């Protein structure tokens, strides 16, 4: 998606530790007109995939997941990192290591929101090492549901999570694939 | 908004501890077609208020905030409960006590996403004691910005946060106001 690459070049900045900061349009301040187009593009890519549900993990994937769900007219299921008192005790869960937070957390979703007839599209803002997606995939498998694929706003190819998942036969659609970053340049995969 | 009351009666359940569980359409599994209507209703209520930005706090308010931002064509700013490595060190913050999580956390937003010319609409899924809104209000004041008002999916009137905020002259628009709840009945304020 050329629009995503342009937006990253216009608004993104590179921080130490291989962090691409896109807080001014994608995950802290949201440019919702732009995200609406992102949702439509995800819907276009997966229009023939028979998706019944979108899944993301809180918090920064929620806006994109909601936009994709809006364009596809399917529910969006939010997997919780920080479960609250109103979460059912009957859950699917996975342990996930976080690169940006430098910790390990338990991702949780109530069993009632996922079933064996679901064909789930995972949506997230970033794909780097792929840990979050591996965790969500194992949750989907625990429910006996199918994984239709993943739709990612920005893939950091140099962290190789995407390659690893594709090698497992998983469909990954990334709207922008960053091949390399320095302080002053961001290079996309053609 | 009659639609919100109907949806709560159809899909909500009451849990011990004054918790109204609406996870199957509002904050765990999202009915995005419904939330699109919620966003339009918020836009209608605040159409003449000169709102420049929508603000919410992660995670369960994000979907509604995004929908309102889409209908109003303004950015949505997400205040963080769990800041990551890519958050600026130059932030506004507030201490907030959480009723559902039973803890106190620091809410943080990068200064670059809020300025003194902003007229901010706070959007959230629930208003109970009003602690989250008080925290966001103090963040808005720290930036020298204006608070246009609040738009809330569900207000729990019997926890009195809404009354307290209205008494301070703050405009609060709640799409459903729950007057009382028992295990078997939910009564709305007329």
pLDDT at residue B1, rounded to an integer: 79
**pLDDT tens string B34-73:** 999 999 999 999 999 999 999 999 999 999 999 999 999 9
Average pLDDT of every residue of chain B = 94
| Cα-based torsion angle of the residue sequence A1, A96, B96, B124 in order, rounded to the nearest 10 degrees | 40
How many Å apart are CA B184 and CA B172, to the nearest integer? Answer: 28
Provide the whole-model pTM: 0.96
Integer-rounded Cα radius of gyration of chain A: 16
Q: Give the contacts of A151 (CB within 8 A, at least 6 positions apart).
A: A42, A45, A46, A64, A68, A121, A122, A123, A173, A174, A175
Residue whose C-alpha is closest to residue B33's, from A120, A76, A55, A32: A76
Q: How many residues does chain A have?
A: 190
Residues in chain A closer than 8 A to B88 (CB atoms): 23
Percentage of residues in chain A having pLDDT higher than 70: 97
DSSP B130: -
- pLDDT of A183 above 90: no
- pLDDT of B100 above 80: no
How many Å apart are CA A155 and CA A160, to the nearest integer? Answer: 9
| Boundaries of every domain in chain B | 2-188
**pLDDT tens string B109-165:** 999 999 999 999 999 999 999 999 999 999 999 999 999 999 999 999 999 999 999
Residues in chain B closer than 8 A to A60 (CB atoms): 78
Q: Sign of dihedral through CA atoms B131, B133, B137, B140?
A: positive
**pLDDT tens string B66-86:** 999 999 999 999 999 877 766
The CATH number of the domain covering residues in A2-79+113-188: 3.40.50.2020
Tell me what the mean pLDDT of segment B168-179 comes to: 98
Q: Give the contacts of B76 (CB within 8 A, at least 6 positions apart).
A: A29, A30, A32, A63, B53, B54, B55, B56, B62, B65, B66, B68, B69, B123
pLDDT band at A96 (very low <50, low <70, confident <90, very high): very high
How many Å apart are CA B103 and CA B85, to the nearest integer? Answer: 23
Residues in chain A closer than 8 A to B21 (CB atoms): 86
Q: Which residues partner with B156 through β-bridges? A: B178
Task: Report the residue of chain B nearest A108, measured CA to CA.
Answer: B28
Nearest Cα of chain A lies from the Cα of B150 at a distance, in angstroms, of 18
**pLDDT tens string B123-137:** 999 999 999 999 999
pLDDT at residue B4, rounded to an integer: 97
How many Å apart are CA A140 and CA A158, to the nearest integer? Answer: 27
Nearest Cα of chain A lies from the Cα of B131 at a distance, in angstroms, of 16
**pLDDT tens string A48-83:** 999 999 999 999 999 999 999 999 999 999 999 877
Which among B19, B23, B66 has CB closest to A63? B66
The CATH number of the domain covering residues in B2-188: 3.40.50.2020
How many Å apart are CA B71 and CA B9, to the nearest integer? Answer: 26
Query: What ipTM does the predicted assembly reach?
Result: 0.94
Nearest Cα of chain B lies from the Cα of A85 at a distance, in angstroms, of 6
Looking at A28-37, A97-106, A124-133, which range is the least confident one?
A97-106
Cβ-Cβ contacts under 8 Å between A and B: the total is 134
DSSP B80: B
A144-171: b or e for each residue (b if 16 or more CB lie within 10 Å)? ebbbbbbbbbbbbbebebbeebeeeebe
How far is residue A5 CA from its own chain's centroid?
A: 17
């Amino acid at each position: 998606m050329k629009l995503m690459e342009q937006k990253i070049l216009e608004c993104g900045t590179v921080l130490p530790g291989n962090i691409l900061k896109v807080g001014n349009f994608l995950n802290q301040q949201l440019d919702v007109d732009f995200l609406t187009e992102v949702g439509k593009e995800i819907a276009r890519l997966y229009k023939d995939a028979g998706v019944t549900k979108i899944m993301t993990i809180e918090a920064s994937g929620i806006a994109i997941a909601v936009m994709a769900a809006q364009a596809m007219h399917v529910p969006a299921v939010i997997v919780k990192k920080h479960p609250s008192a109103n979460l059912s005790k009957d859950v699917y869960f996975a342990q996930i290591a976080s690169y940006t937070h430098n910790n390990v957390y338990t991702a949780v979703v109530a069993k009632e929101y996922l079933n064996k007839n679901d064909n789930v599209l995972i949506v997230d803002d970033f794909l780097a090492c792929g840990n979050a997606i591996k965790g969500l995939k194992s949750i989907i498998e625990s429910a006996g549901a199918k994984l239709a694929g993943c739709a990612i706003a920005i893939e950091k190819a140099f962290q190789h999570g995407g390659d690893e998942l594709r090698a497992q036969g998983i469909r990954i659609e990334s709207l922008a694939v960053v091949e390399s970053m320095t302080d002053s340049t961001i290079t996309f995969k053609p």
